[in-house]
Amino acid sequence: MEKNLNVCQYTLVFAMRYALGRKSMAPSIVIEDVIYNWDKLSDYTKAQIKEEIQEAIDNQRAGMMCDVAEWEKLLRLE
């Protein structure tokens, strides 16, 4: 997959919000793109992403267990 595209960090947040809880390929695609761009995101955006993912997991709105395991990869990023 092409990875040389410039993506606005806000677009990644919007995509993450869309994908969070979906039962489709969307979570895998978005998680991969967020990880790829993680070092380019502001500290505020990183914290926002982690907070929203943790809240979704805590409230059982993050999808199936296999999806939760994928979202947790983002929670472990620094």
Please classify residue 26 by burial: count the beta carbons closer than 10 Å to its beta carbon, then call 0-12 exposed, 13-18 middle and 19+ buried. Answer: middle
Please state the domain extents for the chain.
Answer: 33-78
Q: How confident is the model at residue 76 (pLDDT cuts 50, 70, 90)?
A: very high
Tell me the pTM.
0.91
Asked whether residue 1 carries a pLDDT value surpassing 90, the answer given is no
pLDDT in tens, 2-57: 566 678 999 999 999 999 999 999 999 999 999 999 999 999 999 999 999 999 99
Half-sphere exposure of 21 (CA within 13 A, CB side): 12
pLDDT of amino acid 5:
67
